[in-house]
Structure 1
Amino acid sequence: MSLLGEEERRQAARDVDEDASDDGLKHPMSAKDKRAMVLLCVLYLIQGVPLGLALGSVPFLLKDHLSYSQLATFALSSYPYSLKLLWSPVVDSVFFVSIGRRKSWIIPMQLIVGTLMLYISFNVQRLMDDAAEYVYELTFVFTSLVFISATQDIAVDGWALTLLSHENLSYASTCQTIGLNTGYFASFTVFLAFNSREFTDQWGLPHLSLSAYLKFWGVASYLVTMWLLFFKKEDKEPANEADMSITGVYKTIWSICKLKHIQQLIIMHFFAKLGFAANDAATSLKMVEKGFRREELAVAVLIDFPFQIAGGWLAARWSRGDRPLRPWVIAFVPRLFFCLAGTLIVYWFPTPPISGGFFVFLIVQTVLASFSSTVQFVGISAFHTRVSDPLIGGTYMTLLNTFTNLGGTWPKWFVLKGVDLFSVATCKVTDAGTEIAVRATECVSDYGKAMCKDINGECITETDGYYIVSIVCMTFGILFLLGFIMPTARKLQELPSSVWRVKL
């Protein structure tokens, strides 16, 4: 069943032929595009640092003090990155002509990011030492940091559409992958390793505190901002784009959302990542809970980093043809398989210390799983770049990326809550030779285990909700892939660029 009328199908055939001819002509990348790619990588790097803290290392540091339900509360700090569509029209429409459409937002946002990181660095010890009491303040502070980073992302996404030439637009997603992953893994893997006393003492390296790390990146944000302000000029954009009002952008968003193929794409994005939700949100936390040291996890992910960069580059090349969604769809199968593998690894996790062979197996599993994830990320980002209307580039890209990000964010709270909800644990206490059982859901967390130990008890987990949540997520993922994603993606990638435009 076609999504197009007869005339639209004829136009589609003509546009596909034109796209195919354009893809057949391979041109070397210009020096201007290379400089643009470096700039985009740096800007995305600045975004990746706070995201790596909020979504990566800080939850692991809090794991020793909070239950999964409390971690679910902190996980709300990642939501602004997925809801940036709500204020993206303001970013696209309000700016100073003398500074530039995108720089008008990137410069102040980076200054605020730097200031916030410096503020957190002077208060982080108080917040982290008694995290259970300050969980809401921690959530608010990191939510603010992610909110500002998300606002910067809107401007950078829009700038990418005009910085790069048309034939190299697919590399915008490569820049995003390299920049975001570098910042994310610096804040996640590198920081966790150097924050571990055991790791730094073993290798004779200086210990890195969270406060010092935040100070460093706060200053780095200031320096990048100064370079942008004084040494980088932004090209002027067409007058009709610059004159678009905020109301006009919101109306355009509504017009885009009314397109039938956009509605199908939104539904696909909203549920596509549910199959991976339990694995992404809880598997690493569970391994740490079972004795996998944080620095070992950091080393595993650090080894994985170059493979993610290579995956981003390859996926960008695979997505340049007339079927840009093919890598995204194909990567679903191995990614679901590695989610199952991750669940089984948690189930059969050996008693520490783990052997070298098992550690190598974990690294291989991590590399292959993240490679498939990177292929999906770059593939879908390249598709978004391809179909976005440059006239409202920031908003169109943000609209599509919002539902992609939201699809991976909204299940996290439910997954972490579900782990506690479906878990049944018993704190067994022996008093004068008599065994007393105290049932407590929080006994599955490190905090609950510590409380049980304080009363000379032992935590016995009878049912681990992690496995229940994992099975539900993976089952839905398989059914949704076969029943909706595969046929819908096949139709969407065959549509010509013209049908993704709206009349302004």
Structure 2
Amino acid sequence: MAVSSSLSSIHISPRTPKTPRAERLEDGEEDVELELLGEDERYRATQDLDGTDGQAMEAATSKQPISAKDKRSMVLLCVLYLIQGVPLGLALGSVPFLLKEHLSYSQLATFALSSYPYSLKLLWSPIVDSVFFKSVGRRKSWIVPMQFIVGTLMLYISLNVQKLLDDPGNNVGELTFIFTLLVSLSATQDIAVDGWALTLLSQDCLSYASTCQTIGLNTGFFASFTVFLAFNSEAFAAKWGVPHLTLSAYLRFWSIVCYAVTLWLLFFKKEDKEPATEADMSIKGVYKTIWTICKLKHVQLLIVMHLFAKVGFAANDAATSLKMVEKGFKREDLAIAVLIDFPFQIIGGWLAARWSRGDRPLRPWIYAFWPRLGFGLVATLIVYWFPKPPISMGFFAFLVFHTVLSSFASTVQFVGISAFHTRVSDPLIGGTYMTLLNTFTNMGGTWPKWFILKGVDLFSVATCKVSDAGVDIAVKAAECVSDHGKALCKDINGTCVTETDGYYVVSALCMVFGVIFLVAYIIPTARKLQALPTSAWRVKMS
């Protein structure tokens, strides 16, 4: 259930984390520029250090205590990512659940397009990296206005959301547009926070930037998804004696929080000025740099890996929760299961950050693939054998146990790959470089979603049986597996009978592809990429 995204200011001259061994680059990569490094770093990056010395350097680094300044910076990063996670939790989580009772999977696929800007932010990240007010700060110039507009938009939605939800079938386009705009603003804020994370934390604590992202982003996401769904349920409110929380009231609360944090940033948090550089930091210059980065052979390998890495468990991420609710699993029970899981995600994020500090930062990311694929298979079987409600306490405990383990593996992957991106990104164009790498990570989890939801309808074979004068008449339905399709069948006094559920077909196709791609491409490519020296990821900026 975790969301992938990309990743704040000590005064630095452009530096890079050191790799234990600077191996000779392949075909044409020998001339990768090292001029962004300081003299000492340039010397060390070009030395052929032996493995023992490299391990000793990593061990010494890992033992250094975290400074008070780094701790304050981590808290700030968590808060900024929290604000970013709230609209994402709405667009990717709770709103689709609220709409599911009235829309087909194909209509939900249309609303799923609202999450795409988060994966396409690379298109405007050079503008965020290049245009700013020196008096405000390079990153605050974007974070402050974006958060203010997000707060204003959430306030606007709170005043109009009930009207849209009363007739969602005729308002899918408007709902998609509004939440696409909300996600776009959050994505722009994310670009600036990504760049700030590279300089806000000290070099030794860079791997914890992804941990801050995990804590903040997931906290905001879960608050808007599972926590909101629980308190939005009238049954949950009546059972536990808590007030019923409407979407309108929830949005108003977070708009106030957004305003408060933005004002604090504007008046009480000073952003350190970054050192002047002769590099071309114009919009055109940064776009050229992106193209130069994309031409690096190892970056192309990484892009291909990211675009298809998540296909194996895409069906589980996109449709399993919806299918469980369709089978009778209550939204508030789902919320409780994920709330129990949340502390384990934090622990997983912290451990993954520590595991990613050595000379093989992608190791936890690779290892977590197998359990994620396995848990995806188990989730499919859970949906297939889901008991008729009410479910027993034993089965609920099993669901919680499965959710905890599955989310732990997901968090380990998310933090591991984010730590690797932080490690290789050039601080001089931090926001753009991080966004470039994370764009393809996010796109790998986003682009399959539309096809998954469409595929559930496409591969489903359903029959609506209507009794007429004691004779059963079979009427083919376009889709008869969602609440919407069942309602249409019910309107003609029929009973929905699903002969083939497309969910299982799509899940099988995704998992088979995931296993083949993991063994044939991901594992050998990831090992090759993490063996490269950090200097190989730098390019010359004219």
TM-score by length of 2: 0.91
Which residue of structure 2 lines up, in the alignment, with residue 379 of structure 1?
A: 416
- CA RMSD between the two structures: 1.7
- In 1: Cα distance, 2:429 partner to 2:53 partner: 23
1:315 to 352, 357, 365: 352
Q: Which among 275, 290, 294 is matched to residue 312 of structure 2?
A: 275
Where 2:170 maps in the other structure, the secondary structure is coil
Residue number in structure 2 paired with 1:239: 276
* Residue 378 of structure 2 is aligned to residue 356 of structure 1: no
- Aligned pairs (5 A) from 1:55-454: 55-240=92-277, 244-454=281-491
Q: In the alignment, what sits opposite 2:69?
A: 32
Number of equivalences? 504
Q: 1:201-240, CA deviations, whole angstroms, 9 ceiling, x for partnerless residues?
A: 0010000000000000011100000000000000000212
Q: Does 1:490 align with 2:527?
A: yes
1:466-493 per-position Cα deviation (integer Å, ceiling 9, x unaligned): 0000000000000000000000000100
Q: Distance in 2 between matches of 1:2 and 1:359?
A: 54
Residue 480 of structure 1 corresponds to 517
2:119 counterpart letter in structure 1: S
Aligned mates of 2:322, 2:401 — CA distance in 1: 19
Q: 1:15 to 1:376 in 2, by over 3 A?
A: farther
Whether contact under 8 Å (1:303, 1:363) holds in the other structure is: yes
Distance 1:265 1:12, change over 3 A: farther
Report the AA paired with residue 526 of structure 2: A
CA deviation after TM superposition for structure 1 residue 437, in Å: 1.1
Q: Which moved more, 1:191-200 or 1:427-436?
A: 427-436
2:25–2:536: 8 Å Cα contact kept in structure 1? no
Aligned counterparts of 1:319 and 1:346: Cα–Cα separation in 2: 34
Matched-pair contact (CA < 8 Å) for 1:173–1:316: yes
Structure 2, unaligned stretches of length 5 or more?
1-22, 32-44
Q: Secondary structure at the match of 2:465?
A: strand
* Aligned equivalents of 2:66, 2:259: Cα separation in 1: 31
**Amino acid corresponding to residue 218 of structure 2 in structure 1:** N
Preserved CA contact (<8 Å) 1:241 1:391: no
- Give the conservation status (yes or no) of the 8 Å contact 1:12–1:496: no
1:29 counterpart SS class: coil
Per mean C-alpha deviation after superposition, the further-off stretch among 41-50 and 15-24 is 15-24
2:529, 2:274 → 1: CA distance? Answer: 30
What fraction of aligned residue pairs are identical, expressed as a percent?
A: 78
Q: 1:326 and 1:12 mapped to 2: Cα distance?
A: 24
Contact kept in structure 1, 2:280 and 2:286, CA below 8 Å: no
Residue 13 of structure 1, CA deviation? 3.9
User: Which blocks of at least 5 consecutive residues in structure 1 are unaligned?
Assistant: none
Larger CA deviation: 19-28 vs 34-43: 19-28
The one-character-per-residue Cα deviations of 1:169-217 (angstroms, maximum 9, x if unpaired) are: 0000000000000000000111000000000100100000000000000
Please state whether the residue corresponding to 2:168 is helix, strand or coil.
coil
Specify whether residues 2 and 27 from structure 1 end up closer, same or farther in structure 2 by C-alpha distance, changes over 3 A only.
closer
More helix by share: 1
Q: Secondary structure at the match of 1:428?
A: strand
Please, which of 463, 486, 495 is the counterpart of residue 458 of structure 1? 495
Alpha-carbon shift at residue 85 of structure 1 (Å): 0.3
Equivalent position of 1:14 in the other structure: 49
Distance 1:134 1:15 in 2: 63
- C-alpha displacement at 1:442, in angstroms? 2.3
Distance of aligned partners of 1:3 and 1:358 in 2 relative to their CA distance in 1, 3 Å threshold: farther
| AA aligned opposite 2:207 | S
Three-state SS of the structure 2 residue aligned to 1:132 is helix
The TM-score with structure 1 as length reference comes to: 0.98
How far 1:15 sits from its partner (Å)? 8.9
Residue-by-residue CA offset, 1:121-171 (whole Å, 9 max, x unaligned)? 001001111101000100000000000000000000000000000010000
Per-residue deviation, 1:4: 2.4
